Amino acid sequence: MEKNFDVVVGGGGIVGASIFRELSRYELNLLLVEKEEDIASFGSTIANTGIIHGGYDPIPNSLKAILNREGKKLWIELTQKLNIDSEFNGVLVLAKESDEEKILYELYERGVKNNVEVKILNKEEIKKIEPNLKETYSLGLFSSDAGTIDPFIATINLVRSGFENQGKVLFDTEILEVIREKERVILITNSGEIKTKIFVNACGFFGKKFLKDENLIFPRRGEYLITDKNLKGLISRPIFGVPSEKGKGISITPTPHGNILLGPTSHIVENYDLNSYIKERNEILEKVNSFIDFDFVPYIIRDFAGVRASSKTKDFIIGFEDTSNVLHVQGIDSPGLTAAPAIGKYVSSLIKKRITLKEKKNFKETLEPKINLKKLSKEEIDMLIQKEPSFGEIVCRCEFVSKGEILEELKTFPYPKNIDGLKRRLRVTSGRCQGSFCTIRILKILNEELKVPFEEIKKKGKEGRVIYGEIE
């Protein structure tokens, strides 16, 4: 492995992936470094509501306000170019009493100042677009060009695109120390030294230790519940209450795949705590039941939690250190996902001030779409199966994923490293049975087709095996 790069991006979450892909436009020796075995496998990116926010919430003229607005526009293009599942049906914020109405009007004002599309809806107008909600609201704020995306596929396909444009990626590589030298940075990692002209610190919460004042970043925990797809159609867009000092609050969000996400809670914590708690589950259910009179419990298939890195500055921290070539991208909490592509552009504009960036002539804007049975007609599927019968063999009954799609995915960079990696790419094991049907079939495919010994197949991470060995 070569050791000298022009730019090294640390962190394979949505932010690092966006920067990586953006920088792959230029003739650079570019590297993305991820401490885990896979990208989008840990951190805020995988515990994300997936909302592309309207941009009415951030304080005017803040980085959050600007990058939210620009990021939203970029996503509308990117989801097309990079085949990212998305739905742009708007976002609705509900206000109840007069106090809340006041906050809603403030939000509206902020939206106007932030130069984004916002509209006040009255009760009848809300009822028309969301007939299943409890009619306790009096007023709503509608942000029509907001939406939702699949944050896993977004991250994976951004990295895929960066890779196809000659960017390099290192997994299982944790940056332990950053040594600042004149016009270059040396990264000490668990697998040796990497030298680079510029280091972009998009390491999420784990990158705060490279800041001069790491106390600027504090962890905020959020827990989610997710339902099966049987509730598709209950609501058509993310529903929020008015925001508070704790953030945008708990929402009900239909994902582009037809599940409903409930959450997140928001609690400042001491430790990086990813556990689930009954208390928080109840907090979520109580809040969503204030929006809609519906018993979600029988439909919940999974709970999960994430920790996001919030900044005491209340804004993103993006910029070079005065005296070194370390560029920090820190404190990227909400609306981080929305802002990510704009962060990529902003970071490359900052880098341009330090080194020459020359655009590649042959930059590939789009990704070749992969075969997805859900997007094909019966006739197309039949023709496909005649050519390759493995597309007719359904492995995941909940999400309708075929063996053929799994085999294709296993051959495509960035390769899935474990069953959860396949899940984030193809949604296998993520349905209502939570893998009790398809995990067996996936184990068999990996063992029979790829000759991976059963005991080496991991569900999660590097140690999370499924099988302990042969029964005699």
Partner 1 sequence: MVKLNDIDLTIVGGGPAGLFLAKEAKKKGLKIVMFDREERLGGILKQCIHTGFGVEIYKKDLTGPELIEELMDEVLNLDIPYYTKSMCIGFEGDKLYFYSPKGVIEVSSKYFVFSLGARERARGSIFIEGSRPSGVFTAGFAQYITNILGLKIGEKVAILGSGDIGLIMARRLTLEGMEVIGIFEIMPYYGGLPRNIRQCIEDFEIPLYLSHTVVKIEGEERLEKIYVSQVDENLKSVGSIKEFKVDTLLLSVGLIPEIDILRKNLLIDNKTLGPIVNQYFLTNIPNTFVIGNSLIIFDLVDKAMKSSLVVLDYILKERKKAEKVKLIQGNLIRNFIPQILEKSGEKTKIYFRVKEPIFDKEVILREDKKVISNKKFKALYPAEMREIDIDTNLIDRNEIVIEVV
Contacts to partner 1 by CB under 8 A: 226, 230, 274-278, 281, 298, 300-304, 373, 378-379, 381-382, 385-386, 389-390, 392-394, 397-398, 400, 402, 432-437, 439-440, 443-444, 454, 458-472
Q: 171 by DSSP, 3-state: which?
A: coil
- Min. distance of Cβ 460 from partner 1 in angstroms? 5
**In this complex, which beta carbon is closest to partner 1, that of residue 129 or of residue 381?**
381
Place of tokens 């991208």: 329
Candidates 53, 257, 267, 328; catalytic one:
53
**In this complex, which beta carbon is closest to partner 1, that of residue 360 or of residue 397?**
397
Q: How far is residue 272's CA from residue 169's CA, in Å, rounded to a whole number?
A: 26
Q: How far is residue 413's CA from residue 415's CA, in Å, rounded to a whole number?
A: 5
Closest CA to 33 of 196, 137, 204, 174: 174
**In this complex, which beta carbon is closest to partner 1, that of residue 425 or of residue 458?**
458
**Residue pair 308/215 in contact by the 8 Å Cβ criterion:** no
Q: How far is residue 340's CA from residue 346's CA, in Å, rounded to a whole number?
A: 10
**In this complex, which beta carbon is closest to partner 1, that of residue 103 or of residue 231?**
231
Closest CA to 432 of 302, 303, 284: 302
Closest CA to 193 of 176, 168, 210: 176
Active site residue 53: yes
**In this complex, which beta carbon is closest to partner 1, that of residue 133 or of residue 438?**
438
Tokens of 176: 């332990």
**Residue pair 162/156 in contact by the 8 Å Cβ criterion:** no
- Min. distance of Cβ 469 from partner 1 in angstroms? 5
Q: How far is residue 399's CA from residue 428's CA, in Å, rounded to a whole number?
A: 6
CA 441 to chain centre: 27
Q: Active-site positions?
A: 53
